Amino acid sequence: MPRITRQTELDQLFALIAAQLDGLGTDAIAQLQGSNLTRRTLQRRLAQLVEQGRIQMLGEGRAVRYVCAPQANPGFAFIHAPIPTLQASGEVYVPVSPEGAEIKAYVRQPRAMRPPVGYRLVFLEQYHPNHTAYLPQGLRDQLHAIGLARAEQTPAGTFARDILNRLLIDLSWASSQLEGNTYSRLDTERLIEFGQAAEGKNALETQMILNHKQAIEYLVLDPAQAQLTPDCIIALHAFLSDGLMADPTAVGRLRRRAVEIGGSVYFPVALPQRLEELFNIVIQMAAEIDDPFEQAFFLMVHLPYLQPFEDVNKRVSRLAANIPLIRRNLCPLSFIDVSQSAYVDAMIGVYELNRVELLRDVFVWAYERSCQQYVAVKQNLVPPDIFRLRYRQALSDVVAAIVQNDEAATNATVNARLPSAVATPDKAHFIQLVLQEFVALHPGNAVRFGIRPLALAAWRERHGEAG
């Protein structure tokens, strides 16, 4: 595997430290960097970053921690505040390249100072799969090195399935947050795990989270569906836009009217026939790209730029970007901790300038952050039961129905309530799983099935354990 260059290693270390406003101690950095890096090497790299003026060392002895130097990244401002009344100022932003900083400066100008632009076909025509590359070879090598799931011989989607529960929460929350959703990560976890909508939240926000959950499950639970085809991308739109479109017939359908982009002077293609033609070309070009990271980034650039749907285009592109990663068994991209301002600036740079450098900065930082999360998570997880995941809703429905109808949990009872969704070869195993759920059922976990503690206690008095 090609070795990552020293400067890239320093950039990775800098990005890790810059992502933490309060800084990190040496032990914490070593843990996040992994066991392949000796402590002496880590200390040498930290000293280099301090010497370059990119980070600062605060404290002494074991209390030393490293923070991003304010001047090192104008988009990621940090002020060390030893005095309680002094507070941090500025915005949290991903580390940006000089080219990315140029784009950011341009798109931060007032809208009235930026000339209106339409869809430029030449932007797409200039791209030739496997000859053109938005991500340079060295950068792709770096992404492969950090994204490898150490499961090259396992079936497609294995890594994503292993961390499915965490991915459902993180990607649903982070992608929704980029659209202005105000659900917290804890609110999202409660909604996905227990079906509990957060109090005081708009119903559309709740719907947005649940839509993400369904779309992610569609890609992960059956990787054969995760294909770079027009049908798959339209299916993602159908899941993600369900209940959120002003026109219900626009769900899962290419748009038939002109749209505008809020906060931008970009005007996408308006003619429906032309739009459909370009949509098919974009997906075909993406499918021809060999490298999964280049595929993912191409989709993040050209799907939103084309705006093939009336709304929800960026959400579709973020989930579509995971298709090549799932298929190659690479760590998925969750967009965890990506700031909305950085992402919006990057997309406007694509819309108005046809420049991808700022979005590339966002993409690379987001992927590194995702890998840090999920490689650590996977090391501590027992692989999930895929059969149970497939029939999770059916299991829940049967358990709830038996308690609510005051029936004994027996083979015969479960068999009588077998849902039609359970395939014939799976019936015996399904029945055993339902009975196992009853053995493990108690007031603390009964809420998963919508069963109240008092109702469970009354059922236990009459029927006892499963048998």
**Based on the number of CB atoms within 10 Å of its own CB, is 320 exposed (0-12), middle (13-18) or buried (19 or more)?**
buried
Q: Which tens digit of pLDDT belongs to each residue from 79-101?
A: 333 323 333 334 678 899 999 99
DSSP 258: -
Whether the domain at 6-92 and the domain at 99-379 fall into the same CATH topology: no
Q: How far is it between the farthest Cα atoms of the chain?
A: 75
Going from N- to C-terminal start, the domains of the chain cover 6-92, 99-379, 386-463
The CATH number of 6-92, from 1.10.10.10, 1.10.238.10, 3.30.230.10, 1.10.443.10, is 1.10.10.10
CB 207 within 8 Å of CB 181:
no
Contacts of 60 (CB under 8 A, 6+ apart): none
Q: Per-residue pLDDT for the chain (467 aa), expressed as one digit of tens each?
A: 344 445 667 777 887 777 666 677 777 777 776 656 677 788 888 888 877 778 877 766 666 778 777 655 443 333 333 323 333 334 678 899 999 999 999 999 998 899 999 999 999 999 999 999 999 999 999 999 888 754 444 555 555 555 677 778 888 999 999 999 999 989 998 998 888 999 989 899 999 999 999 999 898 887 788 899 999 999 999 999 999 998 999 999 999 999 999 889 999 999 999 999 999 999 999 999 999 999 999 999 999 999 999 999 999 999 999 999 988 888 889 898 898 999 999 999 999 999 999 999 999 999 998 888 765 555 554 455 778 778 888 888 889 898 888 898 888 888 888 888 888 888 888 888 888 888 888 887 777 788 888 888 888 888 875 54
Termini Cα distance of the chain: 55
User: Which architecture does CATH list for 99-379?
Assistant: Orthogonal Bundle (1.10)
Q: Is 243 left (phi over 0), alpha (psi -120 to 50) or beta?
A: left
DSSP secondary structure string for all residues of 166-197:
HHHHHHHHHHHHTTT----HHHHHHHHHH--P
Question: What tokens appear for 324 in the block?
Answer: 């090549």
Q: Which tens digit of pLDDT belongs to each residue from 245-288?
A: 989 999 999 999 999 998 899 999 999 999 999 999 999 999 99
Cα separation, 112 vs 25, in Å, equals 45
Cα separation, 328 vs 400, in Å, equals 38
